[in-house]
Amino acid sequence: MNDSTATTAAAPLLEVRDLVKHFVVKRSFVGRPLTTLRAVDGVSFTVNRGETLGIVGESGCGKTTVGRTVIRLYEPNSGSIVYDGTDLAPLTFEQMRPFRRRLQMIFQDPYASLNPRMTVTDIITEGVRDELRPADRKDLAKRMLETVGLNDDHANRYPHEFSGGQRQRIGIARALAMEPDMIICDEPISALDVSIQAQVVNMLEELQQKLGLTLVFIAHDLSMVKHISSRIAVMYLGRIVETGSSYELFARPYHPYTKALLSAMPIPDPDVARANRRIILKGDVPSPTRVPSGCRFRTRCPYAMKVCSEQEPEFREVAPGRFSACHLEDGAPV
Amino acid sequence: MYEPDSPTIDPAAQTDDWPLPGDPTILFLPMGTDVAMLERIDRESMSFWQDSWRRLRKNKLALTGGVFVILFTLIAIFGPMLTRYNPNSQQLRLTNQGPSATHWFGTDQFGRDLFTRVVYGIRISLIVAYVSTVFSVAIGVTYGTVSAVLGGQVDNVMMRIVDIMMGIPSLLYLILLIVVLGPGLWSIIAAFALTGWLGMARMVRAEVLSLKNREFVLASRALGTRMRTIAARHLVPNALGTIIVLATLSIPGAIFAEAFLSYIGLGITAPQASLGVLASDASDTFMTFPHQLLFPALAISLIILFFNFLGDGLRDALDPKMKK
């Protein structure tokens, strides 16, 4: 906290540096780790106040683990998570509690993220239960329900009585009740119908503007991420391979993986779609328990060279505001 | 307030062509674009317990079981009011009588009224079953939850202890405990409580382990809730269905085990008598006086049967996924 670079107006709200989270999936009889799953393997990114950072990548690339480690649901193996001048990584659960009010999360599965035995009021106000009297809690729940477009008739109901979109809004209300500065949205729409997805995303945007929230939006749906994010980070196998502003990243991707990912995006206009060349990647994503040497993407990269298997590419600024980790270019896109 | 996009219905088209609400021939009307209407839920709010009760009520067999379980429990509590006899007072001139208007179930070899003895026997048997189940649930739920929540090596050690205790045949264990504690009501209860929690602990641990990784637990964790509170607020309440079913189904076992122990002479001490003791006493002379064995044996069978009906019904009602 007494760091010389303490909170200034320009300082990012969240700065994650070299975050590593490995899971031991198999132990020997004496408890020595045999197989380690490198879910997050050295991830760095920053989130500025009021902006939305989108994190995209295939299933299993570690997006969700990044989100959960940042909010300290998982214990990071190493790295720092500097939130508003304080490193959260070494904090104990008790020390972390005051920060939970400022850093909240919306979960992926609206059917699993609400306790089926609790009423909506109890769910929404769980985080402030010890601080408020029952009447105030009812009040708060009512206000929060209204904020997310539900009404007080819903306050005493149970989660199973709601649709997926309504449940997800209850989850959002639960996060908002803590009055956070930042919300990590962990694929908040992937379990919802397309029509409801737009509804929830629009609501998140509106709430962001109204309440001045900072969002981290984790998703695999590129068009949705493009729509909501100001900056985007692309993840592959536990690493961030490219970052950039939403517009620039889509207009001019540097990393071959980003290119392949963008080319797979459905295009509504069939004429444009026909003209677009789809990059088809060979093979599957390697298992995060056996990460390839050098560049992780080399096993599927159409441009793989000899150096790629020997040396890990550095994540560096290839153009102003644009970072990428690839041996191919020294600043020049392929 | 947030308003979702939805197609607008031309009001002109509505006025002429659509009948007025309330017309009994019309089943469906356009919903319109009122946002509050879109979010409305018409179904009556129902908690998990109300829903389970609704399912249980439909199951006739379980309901019958439940009614008789309550009836037997009432007999155990108020039974002594139904009879003018003392269960232990002997009438040596009236031994081994058959059923009659004065002695409904007849009398035993000491001329004690058998109906009164059976009523008191039900009382003792149910006390043993209920009290030992309450204790084994308390121990088992605590142990299983702690083991699952702490996880890792602690869980490993705690569960190996359960495995070892389960490896000893429970009858051997019971007999040993009763020999140490001395026979009697309370040592039987203690012995049952100390053996009965093992299965409960295992089931609760398994249930809590699966609940522990559900997203609502993570969400609660993200709100800063301590693990102890999470266990009390999220884990145990969600495992309660399983716990209730298991407890109900363990009661017949306790009654049967008590009857068996009494039968081999390790149970309740005279003059107190459980159903097992009554059956045991009657078995020596059952060729000549079969009614002395019939009534206590019938009571044991019926109690066990009805508890099983109720337990199975509760399982179907509380955990519809488990339904066969």
Alpha helices in B98-151 (DSSP H): 114-150
Q: What is the pLDDT of residues B90-143, one digit of tens each?
A: 777 777 777 777 777 777 777 788 888 888 889 989 999 999 999 999 999 999
Chain A residue whose CA is closest to B38: A150
Q: Residue B113: helix, strand or coil by DSSP?
A: strand
In a domain, A27, yes or no: yes
CB contact under 8 A, B223 and A174: yes
Domain span at residue A30 reads: 14-102+180-254
CA separation for the pair A203, A315 (Å, rounded): 34
Higher pLDDT, A205 or B170: A205
Give pLDDT, residue B32. Answer: 64
Amino acid present at B155: D
Higher pLDDT, B12 or A33: A33
Strands A214-219 and A14-27: unpaired
Q: Which residues of A116-152 are buried (b: 16+ CB within 10 A; e: fewer)?
A: ebbbbbbbbbbbbeeeeeeeebbebbbebbebbbbee
Chain A residue whose CA is closest to B213: A112
DSSP B80: G
Looking up residue A42, the CATH number of its domain turns out to be: 3.40.50.300
- Confidence category of residue B24, pLDDT binned at 50, 70, 90: low
CA separation for the pair A75, B59 (Å, rounded): 48
Residue B47: how many other CB atoms lie within 10 Å: 16
3-state secondary structure chain A: CCCCCCCCCCCCCEEEEEEEEEEEEEECCCCCEEEEEEEEEEEEEEECCCCEEEEECCCCCCHHHHHHHHCCCCCCCEEEEEECCEECCCCCHHHHHHHHCCEEEECCCCCCCCCCCCCHHHHHCHHHCCCCCHHHHHHHHHHHHHHCCCCHHHCCCCHHHCCHHHHHHHHHHHHHCCCCCEEEEECCCCCCCHHHHHHHHHHHHHHHHHHCCEEEEEECCHHHHHHHCCEEEEEECCEEEEEEEHHHHHHCCCCHHHHHHHHCCCCCCHHHHHHCCCCCCCCCCCCCCCCCCCCCCCCCCCCCCHHHHHCCCCCEEEECCEEECCCCCCCCCC
Torsion angles phi and psi, residue A218, rounded to 5: -95, 130
* Sign of the Cα pseudo-torsion (A115, A121, A122, A123, in order): positive
Beta bridge partners of residue A244, listed in sequence order: A232
CB contact under 8 A, B238 and A117: yes
Angle at A164 between CA A162 and CA A167, to 5 degrees: 60
Task: Determine which of A48-52, A289-293, B63-67, B160-164 has the lowest per-residue pLDDT on average.
Answer: A289-293
Residue A319: how many other CB atoms lie within 10 Å: 15
In a domain, A127, yes or no: no
Higher pLDDT, B94 or B222: B222
Q: What is the pLDDT of residues A192-240, one digit of tens each?
A: 888 888 889 999 999 999 999 999 999 988 888 999 999 999 999 999 9
Give pLDDT, residue A228. Answer: 92
CB A1 within 8 A of CB A84: no
CATH number of B60-322: 1.10.3720.10
Q: Which residue, A207, A120, A204, is CA-closest to A167?
A: A120
CA separation for the pair A126, B233 (Å, rounded): 10
CB contact under 8 A, B216 and A156: no
DSSP B231: I
Total domains, chain A: 1
- Nearest-by-Cβ selection for B223 from A127, A156, A203: A127
Amino acid present at A233: A
Counted residue by residue, chain B has a size of 324
Name chain A contacts of B224, Cβ cutoff 8 Å: 96-97, 100-101, 127
| Residue B271, preceding peptide bond in cis (omega within 30° of 0) | yes
> Torsion angle, CA of A270/A274/A277/A279, rounded to 10 degrees?
60
CB B38 within 8 A of CB B4: yes
By the CB < 8 Å criterion, does A153 face chain B? yes
Name chain B contacts of A199, Cβ cutoff 8 Å: 4-5
Beta bridge partners of residue A317, listed in sequence order: A323
By the CB < 8 Å criterion, does B93 face chain A? no
By the CB < 8 Å criterion, does B219 face chain A? yes
Give pLDDT, residue B321. Answer: 67
Q: Which residue, B80, B66, B231, B29, is CA-closest to B148?
A: B231
Give pLDDT, residue B220. Answer: 95
Q: Which residue, A143, A211, A212, A203, is CA-closest to A177?
A: A143
CA separation for the pair A154, B233 (Å, rounded): 21
Q: What is the mean pLDDT of residues B15-22?
A: 56
In a domain, A273, yes or no: no
Q: Is the pLDDT of residue B323 over 60?
A: no
Q: What is the mean pLDDT of residues B26-43?
A: 68
- Nearest-by-Cβ selection for A146 from B1, B3, B215: B1
Token representation of residue A289? 């328990």
Q: Is the pLDDT of residue B248 over 80?
A: yes
- Nearest-by-Cβ selection for A107 from B45, B218, B226: B218
Testing the interface with B: which of A74, A108, A118, A145 to mutate, by most B Cβ within 10 A? A118
ipTM: 0.86
Give pLDDT, residue B35. Answer: 61
Give pLDDT, residue A4. Answer: 41
Q: Is the pLDDT of residue B75 over 50?
A: yes
Beta-carbon contacts of A59 under 8 Å, excluding residues fewer than 6 positions away, are A220
In a domain, A119, yes or no: no
Considering all CA atoms of chain B, what is the largest pairwise distance in Å, rounded to the nearest integer?
99
CB contact under 8 A, A151 and B36: yes
Strands A214-219 and A52-56: parallel
CB A88 within 8 A of CB A96: yes
- Nearest-by-Cβ selection for A116 from B5, B48, B153: B48
Give pLDDT, residue A331. Answer: 42
Task: Measure CA A257 to chain center.
Answer: 18
Q: Which residue, A231, A300, A229, is CA-closest to A58?
A: A300
In a domain, A147, yes or no: no
Token representation of residue B74? 């009432």
Residue boundaries of the structural domains of chain B: 60-322
List of chain A residues with pLDDT < 50: 1-8, 331-334
